[in-house]
């Protein structure tokens, strides 16, 4: 007997860094193909899936502001355009698997994507298309984590699945601290009080106010997305 998905509609948040692989910048297409295979597997289960992408593999606004002394707003707009590049890459690889997609952008650019319209996004999901949200919220000073929280609430998602390099949320960076302990469950308020780097404070506050759960999990193991959708305890659940 097949497991029934516990989530019917989810937002998958992927950082730009997830696409780097061993490269210093850009897109590792082997990793992209692996991610898309997992996404296609979940889509085949009948789950309505939306993606929100970061752009840190190409340009990070805050870093550009501090390192290159680019005005913060300008740097953030550059970062938003980086997410569009990642979105187009995902769209191409997903559609090569025979799955219809729509890129919806918070900054209008009609030649390459639809402008974000909430009702249209929901209709695409209901019609079995994967929706790829790019350009963040369309506003500087907001992260793609906040964009993920905002879009998830707008489309009535059951949860945000946030993919990271480690397999959950820890008391400290497990790559640097061997004594770091993993949380299996967390309350929103504890994330804010302890300053845990799950998502930025604005995103966590939005999820807390609207009781939207966040599942933080590692991309290092194939099949994790499907396991979460089927209700297995993977990573850390913030609720």
Is residue 1 over pLDDT 60? no
Nearest in space to 117 (alpha carbons), one of 88, 91, 151? 151
pTM of the model: 0.93
User: What's the pLDDT score for residue 119?
Assistant: 98
CATH number assigned to the domain covering 9-238: 3.40.1160.10
Taking the C-alpha atoms of residue 64 and residue 52, their distance in angstroms, rounded to an integer, is 21
Give the tens place of pLDDT for each residue, 7-56: 999 999 999 888 887 887 889 899 899 999 999 999 999 999 999 999 98
Give the tens place of pLDDT for each residue, 174-194: 878 888 888 999 999 999 998
| Residue ranges per structural domain of the chain | 9-238
Q: How far is CA 170 from CA 179, 205, 233, in A?
A: 10, 20, 16
CA angle (190, 80, 67) in 5-degree steps: 80
């Amino acid at each position: 007997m097949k497991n029934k998905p516990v989530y019917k509609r989810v937002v998958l948040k992927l950082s730009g860094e997830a696409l780097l692989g061993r490269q210093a910048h850009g897109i590792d297409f082997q990793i992209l193909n692996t991610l898309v295979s997992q996404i296609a597997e979940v889509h085949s289960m009948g789950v309505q899936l939306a993606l929100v992408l970061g752009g840190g593999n190409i340009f990070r606004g805050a870093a550009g502001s501090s390192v290159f002394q680019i005005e913060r707003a300008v740097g953030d707009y550059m970062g938003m355009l980086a997410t569009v590049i990642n979105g187009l890459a995902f769209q191409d690889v997903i559609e090569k698997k025979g799955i219809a997609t729509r890129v919806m952008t918070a900054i209008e650019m009609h030649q390459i994507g639809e402008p974000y319209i909430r009702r249209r996004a929901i209709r695409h999901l209901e019609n079995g298309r994967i929706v790829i949200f790019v350009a963040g919220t369309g506003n500087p000073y907001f992260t793609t984590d906040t964009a993920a929280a905002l879009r998830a609430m707008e489309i009535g998602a059951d949860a945000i699945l946030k993919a990271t390099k480690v397999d959950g949320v820890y008391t400290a960076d497990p790559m640097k601290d061997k004594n770091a302990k993993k949380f299996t469950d967390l309350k929103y308020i504890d994330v804010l009080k302890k300053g845990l780097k799950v998502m930025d404070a604005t995103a966590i506050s939005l999820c807390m106010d609207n009781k939207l759960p966040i599942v933080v999990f590692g991309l290092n193991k194939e099949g994790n997305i499907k396991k979460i959708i089927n209700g297995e305890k993977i990573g850390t659940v913030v609720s």
